Amino acid sequence: MAMNLINQLQGVGAVTPEPKSIGKAQTSGNGVASDGLTFSKHLNDRINRRHLDMGPERLARLTDAVDRASDKGARDSVVLLDNLALLVNVPSRTVVTAMETEKMKHGVFTNIDAVVVG
């Protein structure tokens, strides 16, 4: 379902569903952040290309937002975190993509069941 959602976002290219490392955030050897989140290859590339800050403080806030979404039974959620909107598949704890809020003037999110303000 997350793939369908991502493919429907305006201005977002194809997404590789296989989780990869988190770029600048602390990861273990298997691409899982110390807090249990994984980032898609697409997101990892976007973090590096756009120099997005995913440091420990922001990563902790994102993890908290995903935990809250999970507690409510959410499956595919948008997490609003500072100047980012991050699409998360909650059951797999995979952050699929991120869009900077100032660049999503005409963006449409479909097939989500929750929005979490982080």
User: pLDDT by residue (tens digit) across 68-117?
Assistant: 999 999 999 999 999 999 999 999 999 999 988 888 888 888 899 999 99
- Looking at residue 35, its pLDDT comes to 66
Contacts of 68 (CB under 8 A, 6+ apart): 116
Contacts of 89 (CB under 8 A, 6+ apart): 1, 2, 75, 76, 96
Q: Between 24 and 55, where is the model more confident?
A: 55
Domain ranges of the chain: 2-117
Query: In which band, very low, low, confident or very high, does the pLDDT at 57 lie, cut at 50, 70 and 90?
Result: very high
Contacts of 88 (CB under 8 A, 6+ apart): 66, 69, 76, 77, 78, 79, 94, 95, 96
Burial of 102: CB neighbours in 10 Å, binned 0-12, 13-18, 19+: exposed
- Total-model pTM: 0.71
Contacts of 65 (CB under 8 A, 6+ apart): 79, 81, 116, 117, 118
First to last CA, the chain: 23
Q: Between 108 and 11, where is the model more confident?
A: 108
- Looking at residue 109, its pLDDT comes to 85
The owner of tokens 């201005």 is 11
Q: Between 49 and 31, where is the model more confident?
A: 49
